Structures are given as C-alpha cells and as structure tokens.
Amino acid sequence: MAVTRTFSIIKPDATRRNLTGAVTAKLEESGLRVVASKRIQMTKEQAEGFYGVHRERPFFGDLVSFMTSGPVVVQVLEGEDAVKRNRDVMGATNPADAAEGTIRKAFAESIEANSVHGSDSDENARIEIDFFFKPEEIVG
Ligand code: CMP
C-alpha cells in the first residue's frame, strides 16, 4: 500500500471544546502522521470556496456560517492509504451512524458540528491541500 496524503479540518465545535489534541491523538493512533498543521479563522470567502461543490445544497449557508463561527485547525496527514485511513477513523458524517472508536462517535455533536472534515479521494485531497497550504509548509 502506498504512502499518500489527505487533508483534514478540526472544526469549530471541536476547537471550542479544546479537543484539538484529543482529535489529533486519534488521528495519530490510526497510523496517520501530521505533516502540516495550522490554526486559522476561516473567512466566509474561504469557506464558500472550499465547500463550493455543496453550493446548491439546502445546508450550504448554515455550513459556511458554522465553519466561520470559530477557529479551525487545517492539517495535512500522511500515511498508508491516507484518505481511507482518515475516513475510517473519522466515522460516518452523521454521528448517529458513526461506529464505536471513531472521532465522530466520540466527539461530534451533530451532522453539522461533526468535529472533523476529511478528503473523500486522492484527487480532492490534492485540491484541498493546495487550497490551504504552500508546498514549503508541508514537512514530511
Ligand atoms: P464535511 O465532510 O465537512 O463536508 C460537508 C459537510 O456538510 C459535512 O461534513 C457535514 O458536516 C455538513 N452537513 C451539514 N448538514 C448536512 C446534511 N444534511 N447532509 C450532509 N452533510 C451535512
């Protein structure tokens, strides 16, 4: 299995509850390595651009409001089959459906305030990493 990269966001519901370390510990325990990380306040423009594929969805406005409601931690994660590994440890989008041991089962408050985002494909991982990081900010 190849070592690849994925993109992660620790969302405002988690930073608000001081769970940055707890979430990161679960990522690391799953075999992923944090090779870039920064805490930022996302702007409305950034959130709208990042979630552009969801623009037509009924929850788009609420999603943008939520993602700009407090600090987030954007990260690049590296490991074997990183996209799938990260999605496995995140758990289902809706915490009501998330399996035991996953980040969303442990910490998420709702389908919106679900503590973490993770890329859904290698191609989107590259796009999402480029959205927030310069190459020199990633140190593997
Ligand atoms: P994320 O992986 O960050 O990508 C899009 C986000 O939209 C998703 O996680 C959810 O947190 C959020 N969201 C809010 N409401 C819904 C919904 N009804 N269905 C799917 N996603 C939703």
Q: DSSP 3-state assignment of 71? A: coil
Q: DSSP 3-state assignment of 78? A: strand
Question: How do residues 57-91 score in pLDDT, each as one tens digit?
Answer: 999 999 999 999 999 999 999 999 999 999 999 99
Q: What is the pTM of this model?
A: 0.97
Q: DSSP 3-state assignment of 36? A: strand
Question: How do residues 32-62 score in pLDDT, each as one tens digit?
Answer: 999 999 999 999 999 999 999 999 999 999 9
Number of the ligand 1 atom closest to the C-alpha atom of 59: 15
- Residues with CB under 6 Å of ligand 1 are 54, 59, 63, 93, 111-112, 114, 117
DSSP string, 101-125: TSHHHHH--SSSS-SEEE-SSHHHH
Tokens of 126: 């590259």
